[in-house]
Amino acid sequence: MKVITGFVVVLCGLLLGACQRPADVASYNLSQAADNFQVNRRIVFFNGITDKYLLTIEGLCSLGNNDKPRELTVTCKTGANTYKKHFLGLSDNVSFIAEQIEDQSVSTYHYRVVFRPQTIIPDVGLDIGR
Mean pLDDT by 10 residues, the chain (130 residues): 52 56 84 90 91 91 89 94 92 89 76 60 63
Q: What distance in Å separates the CA atoms of residue 93 and residue 50, rounded to the nearest whole number?
A: 9
pLDDT at 72: 93
pLDDT at 79: 94
Cβ neighbours of 43 (radius 10 Å)? 20
Global pTM?
A: 0.65
Domain coordinates in residue numbering, the chain: 22-103
For residue 49, the 8-state DSSP code is T
Burial class for 53, CB neighbours closer than 10 Å (0-12, 13-18, 19+): exposed
Strand partners, 111: none
